[in-house]
Amino acid sequence: MNGPMLTTEPQAAEIGSSEFFARARARLNFEVPAGLTDASVVPLSGDAGTDQMLQIIAAERPIRPAAVLIAVVEHEQPTILLTQRAAHLNDHAGQIAFPGGKIDASDTSPLDAALREAEEEVGLDRSFVEPIGYLDLYGTAFGFRILPTVARVKPGFQLTINENEVESAFEVPLWFLMDPLNHQVHSKEFRGMARSFYAMPFAERYIWGATAGILRIMYERICLK
């Protein structure tokens, strides 16, 4: 993140669909950060407790590169496609997530992995997806290094949910997720250290953790002037 996690910024000016995508294209690219596979590079979160936690995790567990797709659907009022993970999964069961997962050896790039996972999990056809660029690398307490791809998605796609991985897919208005007034800061303890994390509750959905953290990064990179 670009600054201290608990700093309060003024609300970003509302931006329309065309301006959002124009800013994203101007500010993002497809350069893969070294920290995706280099254990000596630990992604910074902007929160001291979280940064210390990630240092500990990086020393204890092997790096597992992962990629997710931030699918921004170009409706008149844009939305972001999210999933609710299946309840039987070992990791993050029932949590709200982006389509995505581990980068396989057969994937040609993190982008290719994100598109493949979106096809496998929810049946999002690549022909509807226009990739724009990568956000900042995001580290998690489970030892993943996540590289998110922001993409423009044309409406009209049909989804097919893979129930082995995903319980449901849904869309949330972009304006809601990019409004800092909806970015709650919560905290929890990790080995005696307090760490902070974002949460963005929407209707009956509780968006938090890595998903909310990545959305916060997108807000800072694209919506702030």
**Selected residue with higher pLDDT from 5 and 141:** 141
Using the predicted structure, report yes or no on whether residue 7 has a pLDDT greater than 70. no
Using the predicted structure, report yes or no on whether residue 89 has a pLDDT greater than 70. no
The percent of residues above 90 in pLDDT, for the chain, comes to: 63
Using the predicted structure, report yes or no on whether residue 74 has a pLDDT greater than 90. yes
Query: What was the pLDDT predicted at 24?
Result: 97
Query: Of 33, 37, 40, 66, which Cα lies nearest the Cα of 140?
Result: 66
Using the predicted structure, report yes or no on whether residue 8 has a pLDDT greater than 60. no
> What is d(CA 29, CA 50) in angstroms, rounded to the nearest whole number?
26
> What is d(CA 67, CA 187) in angstroms, rounded to the nearest whole number?
25
CATH superfamily of 19-223: Nucleoside Triphosphate Pyrophosphohydrolase (3.90.79.10)
SS3 for the chain, per residue?
CCCCCCCCCCCCCCCCHHHHHHHHHHHCECCCCHHHCCCCCCCCCCCHHHHHHHHHHHHHCCCEEEEEEEEEECCCCCEEEEEEECCCCCCCCCCEECCEEECCCCCCCHHHHHHHHHHHHHCCCHHHEEEEEECCCEECCCCEEEEEEEEEECCCCCCCCCCCCEEEEEEEEHHHHCCHHHCEEEEEEECCEEEEEEECCECCECCEHHHHHHHHHHHHHHHCC
**For the residues 51-79, what does the mean pLDDT come to?**
89
**Selected residue with higher pLDDT from 95 and 160:** 160
Residue 136: CB atoms within 10 Å:
20
Give pLDDT tens digits for 152-201: 999 999 999 998 889 999 999 999 999 999 999 998 887 777 778 899 99
Domain boundaries, the chain: 19-223
> What is d(CA 47, CA 116) in angstroms, rounded to the nearest whole number?
32
Using the predicted structure, report yes or no on whether residue 70 has a pLDDT greater than 80. yes
Using the predicted structure, report yes or no on whether residue 63 has a pLDDT greater than 90. no
- Is 175 within 8 Å of 79 (Cβ atoms)? no
- Is 212 within 8 Å of 206 (Cβ atoms)? no
Structure-block tokens of residue 82: 């999210």
pTM more than 0.85: yes
Give pLDDT tens digits for 9-38: 444 446 778 899 999 999 999 999 999 998
Give pLDDT tens digits for 109-155: 999 999 999 999 999 999 999 999 999 999 887 778 999 999 999 99
